[in-house]
Every structure is written in structure tokens, then in C-alpha cells.
Amino acid sequence: MNIEKYKEVINANIELYTKSSHEYEKLEPQYRPENLKRVKALLKKEIDAVGVKKVLDLGCGTGFMINLMKEFVDEITGVDVTQVMLDRVDKSGHAKIELINHDTGSYPVQEGKYDMATAHSFLHHLYDIKPTIETAAKALRKGGIFVNELDPNYYFWEAVNKLERNGNYSPLVKREVEEVNHKDEDIEKTFGVNKEIYNTAEYGKNIKGGFREEELTETLLEAGFSKVDIKYHWFLGETLVVNNPNFDKDSNLVTAKFFNEVLHNSMPLARHLYKYVGFVATK
């Protein structure tokens, strides 16, 4: 592995999040109520199924996952390299929450201590995911699970990358072209983080072009996980379905769930329609 590059990506992340932490929760679409509900339900299901008491949250940031699961567990360790992100984590509630400023790939985790490891919108911020996946594998007891959500799906990025910025597309597609290929301009304007730093910080997305499910599965199995379930989320146009003004929100959510089922039954043909990929891996 190129150690210099590994460190450069960490430093780019520290710069990006030190400059943008105050706006983070306002800007990220993951904070939409329907997404909070979806991720909380997923976590609760896994916590109940595995009997989770202790969790390691990798790249915890300002506590997105911590907030969604702390009422269900006894202890959470959050690890992140950006101190100002950690400073924003809400530690209230009954669970013991410990926050550690450290790179997840080199974090000397206690072997077998945890029932669950989590990562949300995080793995694509690494130059190489292997050391962090190994941290998760080492941290878990046998039968423990690693729940990962919201990393860019290579097949979606690949499809969008073929489109032109000024192409004659619907507003929905145009928006994705901007988001996928030109977000660095926006970040530079808003936070004064230069494009190169931003793209380096988002290495797995903006340099590597996202994750293939095959690559994730292979890396997880090599690190010692015995079973990997790949999950795709956020299909193209899901926001339009969920916010359709002609119907109430609950009906829209049922429609979105149905679309999701149809698309999941159309795999692998439909996978390039999903923006994000995640997994639940069992040790």
C-alpha cells in the first residue's frame, strides 16, 4: 500500500470536515426523515436479531449512527479522525459513549469486544478499505455483524460518468450529473476547500468511482467474515416518489417500497439505478 497516499487522504478528510462540520447535518440528504426512519429500523432489526449490547461505530462523524441506535444498546465506541466532528456528538442517554480520535485502519481495537460494528457514509473516505474492514473483523465476537450503509455504487457512478454535463436530460438526471461529477465546485464555493482536497477526501467515490459489490464481498470474506449480504439503496427518482404531492406521505412510502422490491427482483440488471451500496456482514 502507498502509505504517503494513505496519510494524504486522511489529512484531506481532516481539512474537509474541520471546515464543514458546522453545516454537515444541514447539508447531508441522509438526514431526511424517511431515511432516518429507514436506517433506525434496520439497526433495530439487526440489534434484536444478534442481541447487540456493544457497538463500534467507524468514521462516526457527528454521531449519525450513534443517535439512531443509542437507545437500544449499552455501549458505543465512536472512532473518527476529525476532532471537531467528534465534538458535536450528543452523548446524552443511558448508553456509555466513548469517542476516540484515530484512523480506523490503524486503531488498536480490543479483539472480540463488540457485537456490532457500523459505518455510514464512510468507507469511500478511505484510500484503502482493507485495514478498516480488518479493524471491524477483529473488533467483533463470533456471530457479530458489520452493518455498512451509504457508500457510492460503482455501477451508478459508471453510468452517470458516461453522460455529458450539458446533455439534453430530465432535471432528475441533470441533477445527478452535477452531484456525481461537479460537486467539488460547489464545495469549493461554500467552504473554501479546494477541489483537489475534496476529491482526495472522497477518494473511494471521486477517484476510484465507487464500490463494486464483488470487491466489497471479496474484501470482507478475506478479512474473516463468513457471510455478506449486499444491499442497494436510494434508487434514481426515489425522492420524487416519496415527495409526490398528489398522495400523502405514507402512501408514497409504500409506493417507494414497492418500486424497491421490483428493482431488487431485477438484479443485477437494475443495480446501476441505485446510487448507494451497503452490506450486512456476519463474522
Q: Which residues contact 275 (CB under 8 A, 6 or more apart)?
A: 152, 153, 156, 176, 233, 234, 235, 236
Among 20, 47, 76, 120, binds ligand SAM (CB under 6 A): 120
Segment contacting ligand SAM by CB under 6 A, of 54-62, 160-168, 190-198, 246-254: 54-62
Length of the chain, in residues: 283
Number of residues that bind ligand SAM (CB under 6 A): 21
Segment contacting ligand SAM by CB under 6 A, of 40-48, 119-127, 205-213, 236-244: 119-127
Closest CB 94 distance from ligand SAM, rounded Å: 22
Within positions 85 to 114, which residues make up the interface with ligand SAM, using CB under 6 A? 85, 103-105
Q: Does 80 bind ligand SAM (CB under 6 A)?
A: yes
DSSP letter at 72?
Answer: G
DSSP code per residue over 223-261: TT-SEEEEEEEEETTHHHHHT-TTS-HHHHHHHHHHHHH
- Report the alpha-carbon distance of residue 154 to residue 159 in Å, rounded: 9
Among 43, 47, 81, 133, binds ligand SAM (CB under 6 A): 81
Segment contacting ligand SAM by CB under 6 A, of 46-54, 116-124, 191-199, 212-220: 116-124
- Candidates 46, 91, 36; CA nearest to 72 is 46
Residue found by looking up cell 434496520 in the block: 42
Contact track, ligand SAM, 142-181, x by CB under 6 A:
----------------------------------------
Q: Which residues contact 282 (CB under 8 A, 6 or more apart)?
A: 143, 144, 145, 146, 225, 226, 227, 228
Pick 200 or 252: Cβ nearer ligand SAM: 200
| 264 touches 139 (CB < 8 A) | no
Q: Does 64 bind ligand SAM (CB under 6 A)?
A: yes
Positions touching ligand SAM (CB under 6 A) are: 10, 13, 17, 59-61, 64-65, 79-82, 85, 103-105, 120-122, 125-126
